A and B are shown apart, each in its own frame.
Chain A
Amino acid sequence: MLIIENLKVEVEKREILHGINLRIAKGETHVIFGKNGSGKSTLLMTIMGFSKYKVTSGKIFYKGKDITNLPMYERAKLGLGMAFQRPPSIKGLKTIDMLRLIKRVDEKTEELAKRVDFEKFLYRDLNFGFSGGELKRSELLQLMAQNPDFIMLDEPESGVDVENIKILGKVVRHLLDKNVRIKEGRKKSGLIITHTGYILDYVDADRGHVILDGYLMCSGNPREMFREIQEAGYEKCVSCMLAG
């Protein structure tokens, strides 16, 4: 579904990504590990199409189409969607109004909100004064309404308490079609950035990658990789994987 070829990305004249190659097939969910500042968020923001992130070389293909220079709202219309780590708040725009603007599913807005225990927030200004966990639920609720085919999550569990991670995990599974047992039956793909690895308890990721200093250093089984990282740190994990 998504093919990234030799992608180099500059932000404010500094090259952050130095030639990333990545392939995510339909139905697959990939996970990205890496230290802060390694370029993980940059990759997601570039795929989504934010103006600050300039592709200086390489290409991005989505469902066979070259989207490298496509405007952001067109990428969203084609089926790309993203949950942000720190979304902005928009005073005066109520959550329910936002959901109505983006909704592409038949399910009623109130029903969607119930699934993330968010009915009380429907009439609040979007993201205004929300706690960390509430912001994550707001993001996922919007994604449920938008129903993208390729979903990117930037640290979906950070700042969320144990109780809420369960709810979040359930929703992410649903968004990614992970409840469909047979892999071939899944129509959605995902790319998730995680630090804590908790999301792996709820979502069976198909592949993991480590990004270090703007390079995609290695790929492999996500649970094994995460165990290595926990035991030996990012650099050790990389050299280990390279050796092994």
Chain B
Amino acid sequence: MNDINNIFDDKDKEILESTGIDIKRETRSGTFIQSNHSVVSCNIRQDGIEILPTKEALKKYSWLKDLMFKSFNNNVDDFLKNAEKKVSNGYFIYAKKGAKTKYPVQACLYISNDNVEQYVHNFIVAEEGADLHIISGCATSHKVSSALHVGISEFFVGKNAKISFTMIHKWGENVTVTPKSAALVEDNGVFISNYISFEKVKYLKMYPTVYLNGKGSIGRFNSIVFAPEGSHLDLGSRCVLNGVGSKAEIVSRTVSAGGEIIARGHLVGAAKDIKAHLECNGLLLKEKGLIHAIPELEAHLSDVDMSHEAAVGKIAEEEIEYLMSRGLTEEEATSAIVRGFLNVKIEGLPERLEKQIETSLNELSDKFF
């Protein structure tokens, strides 16, 4: 494994850090970095938690190959089958029974050369009672202008376990990203997935699904997206509530500054006593741009509590003028309101991750306003 400092130049290190990756690895329990098709860093600092490149993990743990595609509820379409053939590696993060990450584990998939097609298959497993927080920074080198990333990620949350997965994406201007992910959650397990994107993305299509199979299992998805002109993002989240008393919440806050966003959300109530809510809010800052909110509620029985709210529009004139009456220019007022709109309070996140998201929001304000 090569040293990080030798692989990345200063500008690339800056990009990595802006996705939440701690280059010095001081505030992280473990690190995995794959650049193009090679693993460049893989180490762990905490007992009970293990990180391995997927290929190695498949050799070490015979049960892992049986888990392959299990989280997709065996809905393996042609896309997945073809993608799997091209997989070069990926990461395996494993929290053993009762292990709780002191700091988040960081996983970084990086593309450092032009026209690379990176296919990875990642496995994240939390055994009974474990607590796993992962920050996934995916980015491309400043030298790259065009590339493709396809990530297949499978999450397995055991009984009373918790996995939080936060992705801060900084893709290059002409990178196409089509991740496929799914999660299986057992009794009283909690799965939290946060997706944050503030940069221009040529094309992103993702629609992770979580199967809340266990009794009292909980799923939460938060998407916070700012789409500059030239971006096209088709993102959604789906929660299938199969376990009695399971709960799900999907929050999507999107801002279009000229870019196109399709914001999907799908809640399926298939067991008694479930509670699910979907919130989809979009702000359009310019005449150009598109936000298409598609919330879906699917109830299979009567004993379910499902609701949604969706709203798309421009910033209220009243709010802008209120701030302007205090001496802020129209741009400063817009920036403050957009920041407030995107500043979603995400429950269950470690403080370090909260700070990271705030830092990204500050960068966004500085860059666009």
Contact = CB atoms under 8 A, between A and B. Distances in A.
A101 B336 contact: yes
B316 interface: yes
Contacts of B330: 73
Contacts of B336: 90, 93, 97-98, 101
Contacts of B321: 50-51, 72
B54 to A, nearest CB: 38
Nearest to A51: B321
Contact of A91 (B318, B326, B328, B341): B341
Main secondary structure of the interface of A (DSSP, over half): mixed
Interface string A201-214: 00000000000000
Interface residues of B, number: 23
Given A73-B328, A76-B324, A76-B325, A92 B341 contact: yes
A27 B332 CA distance: 32
B327 A73 contact: yes
A224 B325 CA distance: 33
B340 A91 contact: yes
Interface in B301-344: 316-319, 321-330, 332, 336-337, 339-344
Contact of A92 (B322, B329, B343): B343
A101 B339 contact: no
Contacts of A50: 321, 325
A102 B324 CA distance: 10
A188 to B, nearest CB: 16
What are the nearest 10 A-B pairs in CB distance?
A: A92-B340, A93-B340, A76-B327, A102-B326, A92-B343, A73-B324, A72-B324, A88-B318, A88-B319, A73-B329
21 contacts: A48-B325, A49-B325, A72-B324, A73-B324, A73-B327, A76-B324, A76-B326, A81-B326, A88-B319, A90-B319, A90-B336, A92-B339, A92-B340, A92-B343, A93-B337, A93-B340, A97-B336, A97-B340, A101-B328, A104-B327, A125-B340
A84 B327 contact: no
A181 interface: no
Given A88-B322, A101-B332, A93 B339 contact: yes
Interface of A: 48-51, 71-73, 76-77, 81-82, 84, 87-88, 90-93, 97-98, 101-102, 104, 125-126, 142, 146
B326 A142 contact: yes
Contact of A146 (B326, B332, B341, B344): B326
A142 B325 CA distance: 11
Identify the interface centre among B317, B322, B339: most chain A CB within 10 Å of its CB: B322
B319 to A, nearest CB: 5
Interface string B335-358: 011011111100000000000000
A7 to B, nearest CB: 19
A51 B318 CA distance: 10
A62 to B, nearest CB: 14
Nearest to A87: B322
B339 to A, nearest CB: 7
Contacts, number: 68
Contacts of B328: 73, 101-102
Nearest to A48: B325
Given A73-B330, A88-B318, A101-B336, A82 B343 contact: no
A88 B329 CA distance: 18
Contacts of B319: 88, 90
A81 B326 CA distance: 7
Contacts of A93: 336-337, 339-340
B282 to A, nearest CB: 14
A146 B327 contact: yes
Identify the interface centre among A48, A49, A76, A142: most chain B CB within 10 Å of its CB: A76
Nearest to A83: B325
Given A51-B317, A71-B324, A76-B325, 9 more contacts: A73-B330, A76-B326, A77-B327, A92-B337, A101-B323, A101-B326, A104-B327, A126-B340, A142-B326
Contacts of B324: 71-73, 76
A153 to B, nearest CB: 13
Nearest to A127: B322
B238 to A, nearest CB: 26
B360 to A, nearest CB: 15
Nearest to A142: B326
Given A50-B321, A72-B321, A88-B316, A102 B327 contact: yes
B342 A72 contact: no
Contacts of A97: 336, 340
B317 to A, nearest CB: 8
Contacts of A77: 327
Contacts of A72: 321, 324-325
Contacts of A48: 325
B136 to A, nearest CB: 24
Contacts of B342: 92
Nearest to A75: B325
A104 to B, nearest CB: 8
A73 B320 CA distance: 11
Contacts of A76: 324-327
